[in-house]
Structure 1
Amino acid sequence: MYHVKGLSHQEVMTSRVAHGSNQISTVETETFWDKLIDNFKDPMIVILTVALVIVTLLALLGFAEWYEGIGIAAAVVLAALVATISEFKNEQTFQKLQEEASRIRVNVFRDNSVSVISIDDIVVGDMILLQPGDKIPADGSLIQGKVKVSQAALTGEPEARTKIPGAADTANLEDPHAVFRGTIIEDGEAVMEVQQVGDKTHLGKLAEGLKTDERPGPLRVKLAHLADRIALFGYIAAPLIAVVFMFKAIYLDNGGEAAAMAAYIANWHKLIYDLAIALILAVIIIVVAVPEGLPMMIAVVLAQNMRKLLKSNVLVRQLLGVETSGSLNLLFTDKTGTITKGQMETVGFLAVADEETGTAMIQYNSCEELPRKNAHLLDVSLRENTSCVVNCNANKESERIVGGNSTDRALLKFVRADIKECQYEEKSFEQVDELLFNSSRKFSAVRLQEKDGQRMTYLKGAPERILNKSSSFYNSQGNLTALLASKKEAIFKEIDSKGDKGFRLIGLALTEEDIPESLDDIEDHLCLLGFAMIRDDLRLDSAVTIKELHSAGIQVVMITGDRKGTAEAIAKDAGLISSAEDIILTSEEMTNISDEKLKGILPRLRVVARCFPSDKSRLVKIAQEMGMVVGMTGDGVNDSPALSAADIGFGLGSGTEVAKEASDIVVLDDNIRSIASAVHYGRTIYRSIQKFITFQLTVSVSAISITFLGPFLGFELPLTMIQLLWVNLIMDSLAALAFSGEPPLPEYMEEKPKKRDEKIITSSMWQSILFNGFFTTAICVSFLKADSIRGLFATEEIFMTAFFGVFVFLSNFNKFNVRVEGLNLFDHLAANKGFLKVVSMIFIIQVIITYIGGEVFRTVSLGIQDWFWVVVFSVGIIPFDLARKYLFSKHKKTV
């Protein structure tokens, strides 16, 4: 136990004024204007700009209309602005939410007790409690304890360095007494005194220390590949359309007569103008074809869902995590706090019964029931052999036991360390040595010297290992008694019985020997004190969540440090074990199995008991070799290799900072329900992007087809350059906003995970794209060529304005088709209010353009009857697609 007073409130205020805050200045991020300028550096924008200059020069010379250049420029600027605003706003939102949710909390000694404060509130002179897994919050020196520190974040060295108390030179990274911000405590426990804060720390001086590398997830790889293929299509189509345009201008418009064609070519002003129009048209076709809205779509979807995920206690650290979660098909999950509540309670203490009682063990339900001497030894053992700090005088009950893990806190509450009136005399002992618990050792120990000079080592760990090393026990009178082999056998049976009922047992013992590095190194004559019984009830929604994950095609394997019997009891209650074919392995059993044999067992594996961190890494490696997309949870220092190796690392909110750093997603409440939410949102994002792609490619197919066929139908430009740019804005930027807010539907969790090599465009998507794309083309061609349709409109100008409206309305109505796979177009429509806003806005803007667009958009005012026919011809895509779904889709029965 540490006896550190710490700074007073006034001293904290004085230090903050004198030395500044512990906040590190943020690295300058790309500004709005930087992003806008970058968007204008896009090759297609550059080509458009060159073409724009040509058109402007021709307009100045009187060979082109003035508004064509202005209209193109306005459309390009508007598209770039919408993309930039959306991208910038959503990136800012994402970063802000991430920073707020991932802020580190620190245990600091102040006013003679330990408080939990934000890392930003630390000041020079503060005394900080450092424990395994902590990220050191400032630069300073050790004043008590001993730790092993990984300084890889600053030096790149993989080997941890031992740090001991002493006068430190914080300018020297090699100093054995100095510790530095951003480095990680791997082992040991200590108290540091802060000497440098904020930008004055080594980390504060290194901008690189604040940057994180982001791996591209499988979804982004698929999208990048898709974008390249679509762009290739655009690059092929664009010159063909330019050639067709010039073929019409040179050959068709001149009736194929050589003299007329020669005269046309001789009129070089007209020829250059038409070549410029052909060039611009080709570039606009590329703009329409290339899905430049995809990156913005991802940014918008992730930013919007980031806030929703935070409400579900999921913090996305790496976008890779949420992108990949839709493909997850194997989840290795911790038990404590994830499947169980994590609210550990010590419900009793098992002591060895005296021979004459006729039973192996006797259970005490409170510390007060134990014999006086045994109660005293238990009190000393639990209070001194712990990584927690006890503040008996703290006013807040939550701050009376600080630090440590949930097991230690539960044990301390059993000996009433959390009550303000506790009478324990901390200064009765002097700590000589200490060995903290970690998942590799499976035990912890402390060596104490009493006032009379006697030294004793108190051990705490796995019950079977403690019992195996015990040769005596404390009887009901507090006297040492020999522990016979027959008694040991009966105790083992009692331990197994308690474990099978779901209790977790912790063995406690004493010895006069020094602290061993391993329990294997100690002689078999420990003095057994007994076994603490800890209960951690199953979360109420764990069984339902695991069933949901199973329905989603995700195999769930529980990994735990508990005994096999305890793990099996929890696994049965949680629904992980439901048949005789389900397999439970212990770490020891797994060690004796080859990788090839383990691959055969893995599909039926449900529980790994007494699991070591190295087992986690091995399981991840083997599962990935089998082609699985693997998720791994972890909370300890030694879990970081497995978290990093997994396709998705789920760090637990109650865990160490090093585990969180190694993870892609942090589950703030440790709950498996939150992991399921991450999977659900990952699948939702994947589906939202699929909807966007379906809509976008449908518009691309129809727009390119109509533009290509136009000259052969006698129309120079069925859709003008400016109209095509407006269509591009509809299908890219605005469509991204429309589909980004799609809700997570229950049916998404009934689908199988996406395979690594699965194409993002499915056969049903291609069916929708081609059917609706060519239906739109057919409607538009019929509209342009049928004399009966042309007769519905008073003038040619009204007719072409109506055609423009029909094409835009067709695309906008098709959003309703794309949004759902079933026949009910109103299904969950209210859950995506942004969709209705965007669709309504496009309809409204199209009407406004019709009346004020004039020569720029080639529009004139339409009457009520004209609008009636526009709606009639365009809304037809809805019954057409419903018929397609009914005839071909697996959702034909959906209503």
Structure 2
Amino acid sequence: MNGLTDEEVVVSRKKYGSNNISVKKQNKLLNLIIESLGDPIIKIMLIALAIRFVLLFKDQNWYETLGMLISILLSSLISSLSEYGSNKSFERLQSEYENITVRVRRNGKNATIKNDEVVVSDIVLLSSGELIPADGVLLEGTIGVDESSINGESKEVTKVLGQRVFKGSVVLSGSASIRIEKVGINTVYGSIAKGLTENNLPSPMRIRLTKLAKIISRIGYIGAILASISNIFNSVFISNNFDEAIIMSLITNPKYVVDLVIETVTLAVTIIIVCVPEGLPMMVALVLSSNMKRMLKNNVLVRKAVGIETSGSMNVLLTDKTGTLTKGKLSVIGICLPDDTHFNILDDMKDDLKNIFIDALLYNNDAYFEDNQVTGGNSTDKAILTFVGKIPLTKKIEDKIQFNSENKYSYVKLNDGKGYYKGASEVLIKLATFYIENDGNKKYIKDKKEMLKKIDTFTSSGIRVLSILQNNTLLGFILLRDEIREEAASTLKTIEEAGIHTIMITGDDINTSRSIADSLGMLKRDSLVISHDDLESMSDMEVYKYYKKIRVIARALPEDKARVAIPKDKARVAKILEQNNLVVGMTGDGVNDAPALKSADVGISLGSGSEVAKEASDIVIIDNNIKSIESAVLFGRTIFKSIRKFIIFQLTMNLIALFLSIVGPLLGISTPITIMQMLWLNMIMDTLAGLAYSYEYPIKRYMKEKPIRKDEPILNKYMYSAILLISIYSFILLSLFLKSDIVYMFIRNSRKTLMTAFFSLFVFISVFNAFNARTERLNLFANILKNKVFIVILLFITLAQIFLIYNGGSLFRTYGLKLNELIFVIALAVTVIPLDLVRKLFIKYR
């Protein structure tokens, strides 16, 4: 076989295309920034910013305008940089696959080329351990391949002359040459990749923020109208003591009317702007960014922010078995003798019997040790050699028959005259006349059907069985199983405790699947283990009705007529559950998982999985540790809680300012807060608070809570009670502070001192309320040391405010307070803590 010439390669590539599968090109940073401006809260801020620019010529209040512009740019930049960095990390993962080399015949010689340089009609040379670069047909040789990345089944498949192999499969044993028939997107692997379209559905978090933006808009508009009415009423009626003559003279004065209209419109715009939570987009960006970095340190790459946003709301986890719950790697779990004696390790046997098994397993094996690592052979041989251990070979092989799909066994004859068979029980038991007992005695096999029933008992438990013969004597059965990941059972238990229902969907047979699920602790008394046929007979309504009982769907249907699978069963289940308002997560590592990964709300792939699966996913587990799913859920819930904490804090402060603006003029309180003071308060409410809450540490007790419903609004009853109680109380406290004569018992009777104390009271209320908002528990300091940023920022705000009290001067309208005055202000501010504790107690014990 001479292979293609250079000229034929060019012609083939031009006619059939290259072997490169062009995954979706990652967005440039500028595009990500532009996309981030579509955030609902950002849109409100942009409208407010535009109004600010229009009014800039009048009040020359460029401080707030500049502050709002910086806030918008920062929030967009932070979120965009986080996603851009994740995309770059993912591209580095992809480059590893693109650098794989392939051996081909070109111009009559062997040549080594890159994977994406393979073309149709190339002759590719394959040997154990190599990746099949494209779809093709065997020209010569016999190989065992692992097609689990394509069809989800972990068993080795033997390929002989004329049979097809598929891109993405791995050669486990043997060697062969293949002629390439399809490359790139025309392969089965590529067709799945091509079928993946970008899921532009908004995440539950984005939906919630959109609803919140609408609520805030309504509050702002209503507040602006009420404040405008209040301002006009105060200016026209209250300020003039309801004197009709003065009122008539003013409203007939065009200049007065124009000035009043401009003043009222400015006030209305200010109210709308005050209601905009400027720090929320930046806080969301910060909390996503900080948690994405934490997760990356734990080998979890968040490709899309939507993945981590949504994982906290996950109700159902659809998981593949091979490579996800299991290692996709066979291991020997023991040996069973024909007399039902079981051995977990060879050393448990008597020496004579042990030596016989060592010869049987060591010599009839194509695997070998190299640098203390088991290599060569197929997955079965590797598992058996690992079980036997590193033992020197002292005998010679005189004759050998390789395993093939026709005889279903392998055979070796040693120089001591003994021959050993290893293979399918239904074949070898027919060849056996005797069997050996634990004491070494041979007995005649009276009932071979009884022996085969023993095999069925094992296979029904998900165990693969190989029979071992010495000449015509049945020695026993090697028991193998696809090894379950050590962390899988505990992870599934934690996920279950978090209120997430797990369903294993696999291409394996129903008995194997049931056994694996039982070993993982997934099955309960009323659990359902169903097949594809069972699922197909169920209506969508029935699937939704019984989904909480369904634990396993076995033999998930291949969509392709050739047994290579696109798991439409997975996609169907995901679609049904999502249509019923459930948040669906999907784990997998094979090409066959990609469509479901893309359609699921949260797609989670393994780092060792196919590139198509990783491209389809939202989260990539770099170290293949399924326990990281638990981390993803915990981080997702932490993010949601952090955002809620920030919203409680900020909306409370915004409402206090809103109440003062609406009711203040009616009480004769005008401009109690200056522009510079408002800038400082905005910095506290937005930037500093956003930073403080974005570093909240994940707490394990969050995994004991139920998932956040997909339709659950971001503002719940708990938040409404916290926001309204503290904002109304604080407004009353601040109003009385300015209007009550009792205050002068503690504060000097001076307008400057009073306004300094008033400003400080507002700031200290925000400081103490930050502790209230941080936790739903009565202990305000619970886990506070895990968020040192929060402590530092609150300490900074306190010290900065004290500095401004004594050094703010005319810029901040502060003129110093005596120590007793400062203590009085702080004492009033701290009252928000016991008040909120009473609220929490009422909610807890009502």
TM-score by length of 2: 0.72
TM-superposed CA distance for 1:777, in Å, is 0.8
> Is the CA contact (8 Å cut-off) linking 1:688 and 1:739 kept in structure 2?
yes
TM-superposed CA distance for 1:489, in Å, is 6.6
- Find 2:65's aligned residue among 69, 72, 76: 76
What is the identity, as a one-letter code, of the residue corresponding to 1:604? Answer: K
Shift in alpha-carbon separation, 1:885–1:859, aligned structure 2, 3 A: same
TM-superposed CA distance for 1:800, in Å, is 1.1
- Find 2:523's aligned residue among 577, 580, 595: 577
1:602 aligns with 2:547: yes
Identify the residue that residue 557 of structure 1 maps to in structure 2. Answer: 503
> Is the CA contact (8 Å cut-off) linking 2:79 and 2:286 kept in structure 1?
yes
TM-superposed CA distance for 1:73, in Å, is 1.4
- Secondary structure of 1:127's match? strand
Identify the residue that residue 491 of structure 1 maps to in structure 2. Answer: 452
1:281, 1:507 → 2: CA distance? Answer: 88
Shift in alpha-carbon separation, 1:226–1:634, aligned structure 2, 3 A: same
1:112, 1:412 → 2: CA distance? Answer: 29
1:693, 1:344 → 2: CA distance? Answer: 51
- Find 2:52's aligned residue among 7, 27, 48: 48
> Is the CA contact (8 Å cut-off) linking 2:634 and 2:702 kept in structure 1?
yes
Shift in alpha-carbon separation, 1:409–1:330, aligned structure 2, 3 A: farther
1:871, 1:801 → 2: CA distance? Answer: 13
1:627, 1:793 → 2: CA distance? Answer: 60
What is the identity, as a one-letter code, of the residue corresponding to 1:691? Answer: K
1:743 aligns with 2:705: no
2:390, 2:725 → 1: CA distance? Answer: 72
Structure 2: runs of 5 or more not aligned: 4-21, 105-110, 127-132, 140-165, 180-193, 348-353, 409-421, 435-444, 469-473, 558-566
1:263, 1:855 → 2: CA distance? Answer: 36
Identify the residue that residue 544 of structure 1 maps to in structure 2. Answer: 490
TM-superposed CA distance for 1:564, in Å, is 4.2
What is the identity, as a one-letter code, of the residue corresponding to 1:144? Answer: I
Identify the residue that residue 724 of structure 1 maps to in structure 2. Answer: 678
Identify the residue that residue 726 of structure 2 maps to in structure 1. Answer: 772
1:296, 1:248 → 2: CA distance? Answer: 37
2:32, 2:341 → 1: CA distance? Answer: 73
2:407, 2:100 → 1: CA distance? Answer: 24
1:499, 1:50 → 2: CA distance? Answer: 76
TM-superposed CA distance for 1:29, in Å, is 1.6
Q: How many correspondences in the alignment? A: 721
Identify the residue that residue 89 of structure 2 maps to in structure 1. Answer: 100
TM-superposed CA distance for 1:796, in Å, is 0.4
> Superposition pairs for residues 519-668 of structure 1, below 5 Å?
533-578=479-524, 580-587=525-532, 589-591=534-536, 595=540, 597-612=542-557, 613-668=567-622
- Secondary structure of 1:606's match? strand
- Find 1:839's aligned residue among 771, 794, 799: 794
> Is the CA contact (8 Å cut-off) linking 1:822 and 1:891 kept in structure 2?
no
1:226, 1:36 → 2: CA distance? Answer: 17
2:241, 2:718 → 1: CA distance? Answer: 44
1:704, 1:812 → 2: CA distance? Answer: 19
1:107, 1:348 → 2: CA distance? Answer: 40
What is the identity, as a one-letter code, of the residue corresponding to 1:88? Answer: L
TM-superposed CA distance for 1:854, in Å, is 3.6
2:433, 2:446 → 1: CA distance? Answer: 19
Identify the residue that residue 199 of structure 1 maps to in structure 2. Answer: none
Identify the residue that residue 123 of structure 2 maps to in structure 1. Answer: 144
Shift in alpha-carbon separation, 1:413–1:775, aligned structure 2, 3 A: same
TM-superposed CA distance for 1:412, in Å, is 8.5
Report Cα offsets for 1:703-760 as digits up to 9, x if no partner: 1111111111112222234433433332223222221111222221111112222222
What is the identity, as a one-letter code, of the residue corresponding to 2:93? Answer: R
Identify the residue that residue 511 of structure 1 maps to in structure 2. Answer: none
What is the identity, as a one-letter code, of the residue corresponding to 1:103? Answer: L
> Is the CA contact (8 Å cut-off) linking 1:552 and 1:752 kept in structure 2?
yes
TM-superposed CA distance for 1:658, in Å, is 1.1
1:362, 1:336 → 2: CA distance? Answer: 27
- Secondary structure of 1:603's match? coil
> Is the CA contact (8 Å cut-off) linking 1:94 and 1:306 kept in structure 2?
no
TM-superposed CA distance for 1:290, in Å, is 1.9
1:703 aligns with 2:677: no
- Secondary structure of 2:317's match? strand
What is the identity, as a one-letter code, of the residue corresponding to 1:630? Answer: V
> Superposition pairs for residues 210-221 of structure 1, below 5 Å?
214-221=200-207
Shift in alpha-carbon separation, 1:591–1:75, aligned structure 2, 3 A: closer
- Secondary structure of 1:802's match? helix
Report Cα offsets for 1:505-543 as digits up to 9, x if no partner: 5899xxxxxxxxxxxxxxxxxxx9998743455444444
TM-superposed CA distance for 1:767, in Å, is 0.9
- Comparing 335-344 with 874-883, greater Cα deviation is found at 335-344
> Superposition pairs for residues 451-462 of structure 1, below 5 Å?
none
Shift in alpha-carbon separation, 1:622–1:769, aligned structure 2, 3 A: same
Report Cα offsets for 1:644-701 as digits up to 9, x if no partner: 2222222122221111122222223333321111111111111111111211221122
TM-superposed CA distance for 1:471, in Å, is 10
Shift in alpha-carbon separation, 1:645–1:774, aligned structure 2, 3 A: same
> Superposition pairs for residues 107-118 of structure 1, below 5 Å?
none
2:220, 2:381 → 1: CA distance? Answer: 64
- Secondary structure of 1:757's match? coil
> Is the CA contact (8 Å cut-off) linking 1:821 and 1:891 kept in structure 2?
no
2:458, 2:37 → 1: CA distance? Answer: 70
1:37, 1:377 → 2: CA distance? Answer: 66
> Is the CA contact (8 Å cut-off) linking 1:499 and 1:505 kept in structure 2?
no
Identify the residue that residue 30 of structure 1 maps to in structure 2. Answer: 30
Identify the residue that residue 8 of structure 1 maps to in structure 2. Answer: none
> Superposition pairs for residues 320-719 of structure 1, below 5 Å?
320-340=306-326, 344-346=330-332, 379=366, 397=373, 410=383, 487=448, 490-497=451-458, 500=461, 503-505=463-465, 533-578=479-524, 580-587=525-532, 589-591=534-536, 595=540, 597-612=542-557, 613-719=567-673
2:543, 2:102 → 1: CA distance? Answer: 55
- Secondary structure of 2:97's match? strand
2:392, 2:797 → 1: CA distance? Answer: 65
> Is the CA contact (8 Å cut-off) linking 1:79 and 1:729 kept in structure 2?
no
Shift in alpha-carbon separation, 1:407–1:863, aligned structure 2, 3 A: farther
1:694, 1:240 → 2: CA distance? Answer: 23
What is the identity, as a one-letter code, of the residue corresponding to 1:859? Answer: T
1:284 aligns with 2:270: yes
> Is the CA contact (8 Å cut-off) linking 1:793 and 1:799 kept in structure 2?
yes
> Is the CA contact (8 Å cut-off) linking 2:430 and 2:448 kept in structure 1?
no
1:611, 1:506 → 2: CA distance? Answer: 26
> Superposition pairs for residues 147-158 of structure 1, below 5 Å?
none
1:706, 1:588 → 2: CA distance? Answer: 66
Shift in alpha-carbon separation, 1:659–1:763, aligned structure 2, 3 A: same
TM-superposed CA distance for 1:217, in Å, is 0.4
Report Cα offsets for 1:391-418 as digits up to 9, x if no partner: x98x7959x669x9x7796478689999
- Secondary structure of 2:587's match? strand
Identify the residue that residue 776 of structure 2 maps to in structure 1. Answer: 821
- Secondary structure of 1:493's match? helix
- Secondary structure of 2:504's match? strand
1:444, 1:689 → 2: CA distance? Answer: 63
- Secondary structure of 1:678's match? helix
> Superposition pairs for residues 856-867 of structure 1, below 5 Å?
856-867=811-822
What is the alpha-carbon root mean square deviation over aligned residues?
5.2
Shift in alpha-carbon separation, 1:293–1:605, aligned structure 2, 3 A: same
What is the identity, as a one-letter code, of the residue corresponding to 2:724? Answer: L
1:529, 1:654 → 2: CA distance? Answer: 38
1:112, 1:271 → 2: CA distance? Answer: 87
2:781, 2:341 → 1: CA distance? Answer: 68
TM-score by length of 1: 0.68
- Secondary structure of 1:632's match? strand
Report Cα offsets for 1:544-582 as digits up to 9, x if no partner: 33332222212222344555444444433432224x322
